């Protein structure tokens, strides 16, 4: 799963209000009924899953704990994943290798 903070475009220190505001903005922009782009539905689902994780304090704490203890096995793949997330957030779909 892509980093939920990256999906919503908020920092790990964001408040619940900042997370909610980012979610509402992105959900309206990428909702399949409002956006005819082919990837709108998958983007909307990713936004919804990220919000469900970060809006629940218990799930968010568990996620933060797991991400803090994560060891990056393949730094090149991690960097590529971050770039894809950034471009996808801007609505640009990069080809996967």
The pLDDT value recorded for residue 7 is 93
Taking the C-alpha atoms of residue 68 and residue 77, their distance in angstroms, rounded to an integer, is 18
Domain boundaries, the chain: 4-89
The pLDDT value recorded for residue 82 is 82
pTM above 0.75, yes or no: no
Query: Which CATH code fits 4-89?
Result: 1.10.287.110
Answer whether residue 71 shows pLDDT above 90.
no
Taking the C-alpha atoms of residue 66 and residue 97, their distance in angstroms, rounded to an integer, is 27
7 vs 93, residue with greater confidence: 7
Rg for the chain, CA atoms, rounded: 14
- Report CA-CA distances (Å) from 69 to 3, 47, 48, 61: 14, 24, 25, 12
């Amino acid at each position: 799963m892509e980093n939920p903070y990256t999906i919503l475009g908020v920092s790990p220190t964001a408040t619940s209000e900042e997370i909610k505001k980012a979610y509402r903005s992105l959900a309206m922009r990428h909702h399949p009924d409002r956006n005819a782009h082919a990837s709108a539905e998958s983007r909307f689902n990713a936004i919804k899953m990220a919000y469900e994780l970060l809006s629940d304090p218990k799930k968010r704490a568990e996620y933060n704990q797991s991400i803090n203890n994560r060891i990056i096995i393949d730094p090149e793949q991690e960097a590529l994943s971050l770039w894809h997330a950034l471009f996808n957030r801007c609505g640009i779909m990069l080809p996967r290798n």
